[in-house]
Structure 1
Amino acid sequence: MHTRFCTFVNKKIKVKLLLLLFIVPFVNIPAKNNLSNQLSQEATISLLTCAPGEELYSVFGHTAIRVSDPENEIDLVFNYGTFDFNTPFFYLKFGHGNLDYLLSVSPFKRFMREYFMTNRSVWEQELSLSESQKESLFRDLIVNAQPQNRAYQYDFFYDNCATRVADIVLEQYSSDRVNFSTENIPVSLTFREAIHPYLEKQPWTKFGIDLILGAPADAQTDSASIMFLPDYLMGQFSGIRIDDTENLVAATNILLDLSDYSEYKAADWWSPTTTLWVLFILIALWSFTEQKGKGKLKVFDFILFSAVSLLGIVIFYLSWISNHQVTSPNWNLLWANPFWILLVTNVKYIYRKLFCFLQGVALVIFLVVMAAGIQYFPYESLPVILLLIVRGFFSCHLQLK
């Protein structure tokens, strides 16, 4: 998902976990340019699919609709993945999940220029629509782009730039006429599993996203819902047949092939798995020496319990207060909760003792939930949980004696 604005956002917004799920670019809507004219017989309407980028906001790619009519000098891109940065209380609404996302319109050349500048390939699928269907779709896009209609409540899995495009195109046909191919999607793929390949080169981001996504992310996708990702939307459209007689896509072309310039590799040596396991082993060994009076880990305990408590606050807010549908319920709250801070604060003995008991019960419940497959368990968090058990035991057992 593209734009110069997003570069600014990436520098200014440091909450990368939320950025990955919900940030999209802003494109100014130009003045009306022949939007009231009827399309000529030369007009084409196509799906544009843009390759994932290296930056966090672009990692899932992007989808838009192009309307091209040389006779009427129309060549526009309709983009459902935009927002207005000048929205009052922008950051508050962004975090809470009620920021309005917008359909915007931009010239095709400007759209392509930005993807060229960011080294991202663009594919075009020309749709085999009848003239009346092209007119209907173009009219719907114009109506949706009006100021009073262009805003909608964004949802990463169920209502985004890709699903909006899929819906408005497929609305040109009755549902019984559209036949999906099952060859273009993996069997039994969950929403979480669908996004994992895009995050392999950003392991820390992947780890964070898995922590804040709740059980809804582990629901199974189907032929329609998998189209929340641009790549899968392109794949599904290529296999759709209308009335089992006509392909939805008449032709596919690559407009911008920059695959040779878009490869990059993330550092492997400090991945979450390696870093956290090394940390656990070192701290666990140090903990036993501390018991013998050879070391002190009070500073580490403060950092560990404070960080996990802060993570618990974030997860709790996203799960039970915000409007984000994909973050609740989140069973990671059983181990990553705000109450760990009690172990490094001057609270009464009885409260510390009660927390130690309840947290032990919560960890047992968490293990049962994970074993039952109710929610995906990011294995990178295992050394963190073990750290909490070790340091929690020493904090509770030694300090409560």
Structure 2
Amino acid sequence: MKKLYFYLFLFFSLHSFGQSTTLSENSKVSVLTIGTGNASHELYGHTGIRIKDSKNGIDIVYNYGFFDFNTPYFVAKFVKGDMKYFVSTQRYMDFEYSYILDNRSIYEQEIDLSLDQKNTLYKNLNASLFSDDKYYTYKFIDRNCTTKVIDKLNDVLVNDSITTNKPVEISYRDILNINYLDHDYFTKLGINLIFGEKVDRLAETLFLPLELHHVLKTKTYKGKPLVTNTKTVFEAQKTDFKSSLLNSPYLIILILALIVLINNKKVTSFYFSVIALIGVFLCLVGLYSFHEEVLWNYNALLFNPLLLVFVFTMYKRSAKTIITWGKINLVCLIAHFLLIINKVDLMLFLPFTVAHFILITRIIMKCKKSMGNG
């Protein structure tokens, strides 16, 4: 019971302090950008807002990137798109130390705001801690730790919002592939496989930490640079990337080549069954999830659920039926190729396209030959 009283006292004390404290003229507001990490949730960096006021003894970071791994049905909620993230605060020194310990770069950009703007921002940030705004439903592009920081800043940057540099000539998929996924082939393959049509749109939304960092470098406000000072707090030590056959497209090419060269009915059937089940997963996730990024996933034309029907006909139906379903799958295969022919993920999926085309065409030609002999 004593602990309960203590935490209640601490909660209301912090709330009262945050609401009543007025920042001094010497206060500073800065955007903290964290570099990429190795874990899946660290691939694209992180963003926070630092409020520092030595006169009032304030030096805290508002962090919109918290989530609870112990949330019931965590994976299901994350996949569905109703996973709750929340804002919390950390002492700046704790924030800095944790990322240095993880060998992740830290960049700080001081924002040129008036005292009134600083106090309004400070008030709004504190209000987020003690209201329904504390929690938000995470969306990969539209609502994350970076977009939340941008929203808070734009609330005080009247009529001159922080946005992407115009004109926008690059898609979300381009940004993800070119800047972030070079050294991990299977992560790159998985991310491109799961994402659908939305990530091929022009990247109108500023949604990644390092992209925000670049935009702020040239952003002006009322005719002056918005950022008055940029500092590299910590530069991560570069780790030597060692290429590996087990994490490269060559492994996939080798496996596909073996499947084609072996030319065995059971091997081909097993392979197509696995591919089809991946396609079923893509379709079900698109129907189940609230994440718009996984809707209308044309990769289901390559990892095609209809391959299950094709495999079934190979064992249970006439040559004519096999040819019909083979042609249907070939049409889907060609449609997928045409959809990605000018996209950044073309070479990623091309080995699958070539292998599927050879395997299906060979089965069709074999059936036609058997019909001719008959």
Indicate the TM-score class for this superposition, using the shorter chain for normalisation.
0.7 to 0.9
What's 2:213 paired with? Answer: 234
State the alpha-carbon separation in 2 of the partners of residues 378 and 97 from structure 1. 27
What's 2:340 paired with? Answer: 370
SS in structure 1 of the partner of residue 189 of structure 2 = helix
Residue 349 (structure 2) pairs with residue 358 (structure 1): no
Tell me the number of residue pairs that the alignment of Structure 1 and Structure 2 aligns. 352
What's 2:4 paired with? Answer: none
Q: Which of 342, 357, 366 is the matching residue for 1:389?
A: 357
SS in structure 1 of the partner of residue 22 of structure 2 = coil
SS in structure 2 of the partner of residue 149 of structure 1 = helix
SS in structure 2 of the partner of residue 103 of structure 1 = strand
Q: Deviations over 1:332-373 (max 9, x none)?
A: 1112122323344587426755532321222232233334x4
8 Å Cα contact 1:67-1:74 kept in structure 2? yes
Q: 1:97 to 1:251 in 2, by over 3 A?
A: same
Q: Which amino acid aligns with 2:18?
A: L
State the alpha-carbon separation in 2 of the partners of residues 303 and 77 from structure 1. 52
SS in structure 2 of the partner of residue 337 of structure 1 = coil
SS in structure 2 of the partner of residue 338 of structure 1 = coil
Q: Deviations over 1:123-172 (max 9, x none)?
A: 11111111111110011111112252211122212221111111211221
- Deviation of 1:199 (Å): 0.6
What's 1:336 paired with? Answer: 303
Q: 1:170 to 1:286 in 2, by over 3 A?
A: same
State the alpha-carbon separation in 2 of the partners of residues 323 and 279 from structure 1. 34
State the alpha-carbon separation in 2 of the partners of residues 367 and 159 from structure 1. 31
- Deviation of 1:391 (Å): 3.0
1:313-332 equivalences under 5 Å are 313-332=280-299
1:13-162 equivalences under 5 Å are 31=11, 33=14, 34-36=17-19, 37-162=21-146
SS in structure 1 of the partner of residue 306 of structure 2 = helix
Point out where structure 2 has 5 or more consecutive residues left out of the alignment. Answer: 1-9
Q: Which amino acid aligns with 2:347?
A: Y
TM-score, normalised to structure 1's length? Answer: 0.79
8 Å Cα contact 1:284-1:390 kept in structure 2? yes
TM-score, normalised to structure 2's length? Answer: 0.85
Q: Which amino acid aligns with 1:237?
A: L
Q: Which of 192, 195, 212 is the matching residue for 2:194?
A: 212
State the alpha-carbon separation in 2 of the partners of residues 152 and 181 from structure 1. 23
Q: Deviations over 1:189-213 (max 9, x none)?
A: 2111111221101121112211221
8 Å Cα contact 2:30-2:51 kept in structure 1? yes
SS in structure 1 of the partner of residue 290 of structure 2 = coil
SS in structure 2 of the partner of residue 67 of structure 1 = strand
Q: 1:257 to 1:365 in 2, by over 3 A?
A: closer
Q: Which of 245, 255, 260 is the matching residue for 1:284?
A: 260
Identity %: 27
8 Å Cα contact 1:100-1:151 kept in structure 2? yes
Q: Deviations over 1:269-305 (max 9, x none)?
A: 3454322223333333322xxxxxxxx451x324412
SS in structure 2 of the partner of residue 81 of structure 1 = strand
SS in structure 2 of the partner of residue 106 of structure 1 = strand
Between structure 1 and structure 2, the one with the greater Rg is 2
- Deviation of 1:52 (Å): 0.9
8 Å Cα contact 1:181-1:239 kept in structure 2? no
SS in structure 2 of the partner of residue 255 of structure 1 = strand
Q: Which of 163, 168, 172 is the matching residue for 1:191?
A: 172
Q: Which of 227, 235, 253 is the matching residue for 1:249?
A: 227
What's 1:200 paired with? Answer: 182
What's 1:265 paired with? Answer: 241
State the alpha-carbon separation in 2 of the partners of residues 85 and 243 from structure 1. 43
Q: Which amino acid aligns with 1:241?
A: T
- Deviation of 1:239 (Å): 1.3
Q: 1:302 to 1:73 in 2, by over 3 A?
A: farther
8 Å Cα contact 2:168-2:202 kept in structure 1? no
- Deviation of 1:314 (Å): 2.4
Q: Deviations over 1:80-116 (max 9, x none)?
A: 1121233333221111111112112122122112101
RMSD of aligned alpha carbons: 2.7
SS in structure 1 of the partner of residue 26 of structure 2 = coil
8 Å Cα contact 2:322-2:367 kept in structure 1? no
Point out where structure 1 has 5 or more consecutive residues left out of the alignment. Answer: 1-29, 288-295
State the alpha-carbon separation in 2 of the partners of residues 181 and 103 from structure 1. 24
Q: Which amino acid aligns with 1:97?
A: G
State the alpha-carbon separation in 2 of the partners of residues 306 and 129 from structure 1. 59
